[in-house]
Amino acid sequence: MRALDLSGISEADIRACKEIATEAGVDLKDCYQCGKCTAGCPLAEGMDLMPREVIRFLQLGALDVVLDAKTPWICAQCAVCSSRCPQNVDICSTMRAVRIAAKRAGKRPVPEADIFDDEFIANVRAHGVSNEQYLAAMYNLKSGHFTQDMGNATRMLKRRMVGVAIHNTKGRAEVAALIDRALGADEGGE
Ligand code: SF4
Ligand code: SF4
């Protein structure tokens, strides 16, 4: 674990960390730092903080360390960590709650992940399902990675894995309403 100067941590930081945990339904006192979550995480290698460390820094009230971490944005929400935890700490939900808190604070340590999420949600909101070809195009445009995965596009088109037609579901208005409700809740609207 990286060295940390605890003198910079304020009461407000400690409160904010507790609020993040509460939003995730987690009692930070439950974690005894056994590391089983980290040992099972398929993406730990690419993370700047291990899942166990995210919980530890929250316990310490090190708000900025947690909000500036790339880990919650790299997290695939697979929930392996939560299922392995002997204390039933929901690390997976904690990652999500950290991400929401970071976004509220105007931080997005992995902008590509944020762009992809926003485009995916906009795509599903508009059509009721994800239209991958347009999702990929919008992501490439907005992220500036203009040619990312373009090598696969021709092959996928040939094999009809993707096409140019836009698919809409019958219940897309309901899907849009559900998304609006969830986004309202994320922004503290519910
Ligand atoms: S598995 Fe659970 S108790 Fe162990 S370090 Fe991770 S969160 Fe803490
Ligand atoms: S939910 Fe995230 S942190 Fe947990 S195991 Fe999966 S990728 Fe790792």
pLDDT in tens, 46-82: 999 999 999 999 999 999 999 999 999 999 999 999 9
- Calculate mean pLDDT across residues 31-59: 97
Long-range contacts of 81-85 (CB under 8 A, 24+ apart): 81/36, 81/37, 81/38, 81/40, 81/41, 81/51, 82/37, 84/36, 84/37, 84/39, 84/40, 85/31, 85/36, 85/37
Task: Assess whether pLDDT exceeds 90 at residue 4.
Answer: no
Ligand 1 mean position, distance from CA 27 (Å): 12
Q: What's the CA-to-centroid distance between 38 and ligand 1, angstroms?
A: 8
Pick 16 or 186 by higher pLDDT. Answer: 16
CATH 1.10.1060 domain range(s) in the chain: 6-104
Q: Whose CA is nearest to atom 2 of ligand 2?
A: 75
0.95 exceeded by pTM:
no
Q: What is the average per-residue pLDDT within 23-32?
A: 98
Is the minimum distance from the CB of 95 to ligand 2 under 6 angstroms? yes
CATH number of 6-104: 1.10.1060
pLDDT tens track for 100-130: 999 999 999 999 999 999 999 999 999 999 9
CB atoms within 10 A of CB 187: 11
Is residue 55 lining ligand 2, measured as CB closer than 6 Å? no
Range with lowest mean pLDDT among 2-11, 24-33, 175-184: 2-11
Q: What is the mean pLDDT of residues 178-185?
A: 88
